[in-house]
Amino acid sequence: MHMQLLHNDRVVFFDRTDFGASNLSLPNGQCRINPRDEYLKVDCTAHSAEYDISTNSIRPLNIQTDTWCSSGTVLGDGRLAQTGGYNDGERDVKTFQPDCTNISNCDWVENPNALFEHRWYATNHVLPDGSSIILGGRRGFSYEFFPKTSTTSTLTPFPFLAEVNERGVENNLYAFVFLNVDGNLFVFANNRAILFDYKRNVVVRNYTTVPGGDPRNYPSTGSAVLLPIKNLELGAKAEAEVLICGGARHGAYVKAASQSWFLPALNSCARLKINDPNATWVMETMPMPRIMSDMLVLPNGDVLIINGAGAGTAGWELGREPVLSPVTYHPDNVLGSRFEVMKATTIPRMYHSCAVLLRDGRVLVGGSNPHHFYNFTNVLFPTDLTLEAFSPPYLDSNQASIRPSITSPGSSTIINYGTIIKIGFSISGLVNPSSIKVTMVRPPFNTHSFSMSQRNLVLTITAIVNPLGLGQFEIQVRTPGSSTMAPPGYYMLFVVHQNVPSKGIWVKLA
């Protein structure tokens, strides 16, 4: 249900705790004893795990309170912060530190009642100071911060989410939130968007409703990304553009839930330049309708749309017609030629599936459980607990000769704001210097068709030299100039040549 890549190349998963035992036992005889659990009050199995990509191994983790349909983000110091959930977990915050000295003891740290309000189906986003804003959730028309300080230790009303709330359906959950290059937050819920100054609690700008007026947020789950940010040296004038794809038609949730009538999903995408004085939604048509998909910005700037269904809505048993073919969206192509259908999977990834980008350029995809409990047999879409990797076309063997390989610096390098850094790389085939770029990707927290705090930045190149010949190069790039442009923390840095990215290295922007 929830998935996050951390800077040690391990992926943390977690699910609900209130649906009985899992198939993964807690180590050393540990058990979760929770009188408030609604299903199993003594549970000796894990509902969270750490996946080591390099060894293809799983380590069970211990979660005490219910994380059902919660939210999270990686803070500026590298800790994963999970916020809210259901029942006894609705006001808790759990943190996970990937850098502890003894890996066997790295586990969730519970922070009971660290939130002012219950947060169920809320949205998180990392901020320029490295903290997280937690916004909305079911009946939660407010926002707050974690960690709390003397200046952020307040609960602040957020009327916009109440304005777009639909009685009996909501359609304002897991709002799409992005940090704009001017420091304000772009917030999209249902079919409307605003630009919001969270420091002053002021709506800076109202955008027009998406044409058609259909809902895009949970349970009418579309998905959204902030497209790669270019021209970073322009600061607050740099272009920031949002892409929102898919969703359910108005009334689809009620028809599916009460009448078993599964309307076709939306096949449209809406694109908006946030800072354009005359910002207008530009509509595009996907190759197929889609709900419950995941959208990830790849290292080369393309957008992958993967997982989901073609009819119905999000929720237990309410999706139909699984969409097995991923789609790549090429944002720099001319309008009308941006979508490319990829090879299909054989596994339906419906409600409660996830996808995250890995440092080697693959996309890890897993899960699918449209049922109240685990249900593996005699159902239309059985619970699926498998993982698979999707390899974008840039990983095809016929691209190997033009794929860069970073030689310096080493991974986990600390970089500072507004400085020139040198990156060494090699390419075995013919080189086109004009097609080289460097990108930084912030790994997002993925749940319910939205990847929170996802960010892709295209760094400004100041020089490319070929000091040693024989395919050896050194590129000089300028790092982002401020934490508004790129909040502090860990990023994957890639060299991209002819649209083919290198394997990334971890850098910490400090």
The mean predicted confidence, pLDDT, of the chain is 96
pLDDT at residue 104, rounded to an integer: 65
- Cross-sheet strand order for the sheet of 420-426: 405-408, 420-426, 472-478, 460-469
Which tokens in the block code for residue 232? 């970073």
pLDDT band with cut points at 50, 70 and 90 for residue 466? confident
d(CA 62, CA 472) in angstroms, rounded, equals 47
- The Cα–Cα gap between 475 and 448 comes to 38
pTM assigned to the model: 0.97
Beta strands in 172-256 (DSSP E): 176-179, 185-189, 192-197, 202-206, 223-226, 241-245
Tell me the pLDDT band of 236, cut-offs 50, 70 and 90.
confident
Nearest to 184 by CA among 507, 488, 484: 484
Give per-residue burial for 486-507: e unless 16+ CB within 10 Å, then b.
bbbbbbbbbbbbbbbbbbbbbb
192-205 per-position pLDDT tens digit: 999 999 999 999 99
Q: Answer whether the bond into residue 228 is a cis peptide, omega within 30°.
A: no
- Is 259 buried (19+), middle (13-18) or exposed (0-12) by CB count in 10 A? exposed
Return the SS3 of 7: coil
Share of the chain above pLDDT 70, in %: 99
Q: Which two tokens stand for residue 433?
A: 């210097």
Residue 196 neighbours by CB under 8 Å, 6+ apart: 160, 184, 185, 186, 187, 202, 203, 204
What does the chain come to in residues? 510
Euclidean distance between CA atoms 419 and 413, whole angstroms: 14
pLDDT digits (tens, 9 = 90+) for 338-386: 999 999 999 999 999 999 999 999 999 999 999 999 999 999 999 999 9
pLDDT above 80 (res 103) = no
Q: What angle do CA 58, 390, 5 make, to 5 degrees?
A: 45
> Is residue 105 pLDDT above 80, yes or no?
no
Q: Per-residue pLDDT for 214 more than 80?
A: yes
Residue 399 DSSP code: G
**DSSP letters for 333-347:** SPTT--EEEPPPPSS
Compute the chain's Rg from CA coordinates: 22
H/E element, 257: helix 252-259
CA angle 483, 244, 214 (to 5 degrees): 135
Tokens of 179: 């940090």
User: 62-100 pLDDT, tens per residue?
Assistant: 999 999 999 999 999 999 999 999 999 999 999 999 987
Task: Give every strand in the sheet of 202-206, ordered side by side.
Answer: 176-179, 185-189, 192-197, 202-206
Question: What burial class does residue 467 get, using C-beta atoms within 10 Å of its C-beta: 0-12 exposed, 13-18 middle, 19+ buried?
Answer: exposed
- Domains along the sequence of the chain with CATH: 399-509 (2.60.40.10)
- Cβ–Cβ under 8 Å, residues 6 and 98: yes
pLDDT above 90 coverage of the chain, percent: 93
End-to-end CA distance of the chain: 31
Which pLDDT tens digit goes with each residue over 475-485? 999 999 999 99
Nearest partner of 270 among 302, 304, 247, 239, judged by Cα = 247
Taking Cα atoms as reference points, which of 324, 328, 327 lies closest to residue 309? 324
Provide the token pair at 135: 């916004």
Q: Name residue 90's amino acid.
A: E
Cα 132 from Cα 147, distance rounded (Å): 7
Residue 294 to residue 307: CA distance in whole angstroms: 6
CA distances from 509 to 80, 316, 479 (A): 16, 40, 9
pLDDT at 99: 81
d(C-alpha 354, C-alpha 422), whole Å: 35
Classified as helix, coil or strand, 28 is helix
pLDDT over threshold 80, residue 115: yes
Q: Is the pLDDT of residue 60 over 90?
A: yes
Residue 505: pLDDT band (50, 70, 90) is very high
Query: DSSP letters of 124-161?
Result: EEE-TTS-EEEE--TT--EEEEES--TTT---EE-HHH
Mean pLDDT, rounded, for 130-157: 96
State the DSSP H helix or E strand holding residue 446, giving kind and residue range, or none if neither: strand 445-447
Mean pLDDT confidence for 117-132? 98
